[in-house]
A and B are shown apart, each in its own frame.
Chain A
């Protein structure tokens, strides 16, 4: 891929990994769902990546959310165009897409969660932590179990979600990758 024009909007959402498996790339405020042999990839700072998975179908989805709650006015008016921006609206939307695409219900899914770092020094509001708290609370409401997570800190995250296995390869910037 040409790295000269990183934000050109021309780079594909679907790439091929070193192992030959197709990779679905997720942007911020974005949702992607898929099945094996795909991998789902994203990079994170203060945002949270929520990965939902069903092992029997080898199907999963990723939500890359920015903030916990939408502005109250927008929520009341039902004017939220990008539901994936917020945990409150993004998680129901990810569940809806899992249901439509694969017929999977919340009880058939497990969750893993990554990100929520605080990359910027001198920023007092910890958006990453707010995001994590909101995701945990909403998942609890759906009865979805969190089976793995790596959150917080001050470094960026790179996340590769393998839909063949449900395992997530998570790398903190400057550190070795871990499988979760």
Chain B
């Protein structure tokens, strides 16, 4: 469980990153983008992945490692059926142009993940004097559970619980929802210690 104070601190920091990402995406897509922090929580790795493993959905996700003193693992994903729409929007093409899961779709999801992760890294650098270097994104197209398995693997290898920051990404005028997750690889305690030392 995360206490109320911790929840607020993490949300505040994450909100700064999301605000930046909203601006970048609104400009890129020429449509209003709203990114909201849905939840910040500690979860058992088995419980949290069982949720994904029970689903029949397929997704395309871009995973980005943010390396630095407080490393994060970032995931942006879109459900398979929505990936073509986001590709068309990013490429400024009429919706419906993309017809298959090809290199354009994978590149669009990869670029979206890269932009969002970089926005988060930028906030940490500017507001907390912390350098986080985004690594090249990895794109995985698979069952939802398989994508999450690869996403949480590096954290789960060293911890039985993980702190998850879950956000939803909505595009005005389009029935499209994307999700973003951030998992600090250093654990919740070190993250809070770092953030609070930057604030006070």
Contact = CB atoms under 8 A, between A and B. Distances in A.
Interface of A: 1, 3-13, 15, 23, 25-30, 41-47, 66-67, 81-82, 84-85, 117, 119-121, 155-158, 173
Contact of B166 (A8, A46, A173): A8
Interface of B: 38-39, 41, 43-55, 57-58, 79, 138, 140-150, 152-153, 156-157, 160, 164, 166, 168, 177, 179, 181
A44 B54 CA distance: 11
Given A81-B160, A173-B142, A25 B43 contact: no
Given A9-B41, A9-B47, A29-B45, A42 B53 contact: yes
B149 A45 contact: yes
Secondary structure dominating the interface of A: loop
Contacts of B79: 3
Tell me the dominant secondary structure on chain B's binding face: mixed
A119 B140 contact: yes
B166 A26 contact: no
B5 to A, nearest CB: 21
Contacts of A44: 145-146, 149
A109 to B, nearest CB: 22
A43 B145 CA distance: 5
Given A8-B39, A46-B150, A85-B156, A119 B142 contact: yes
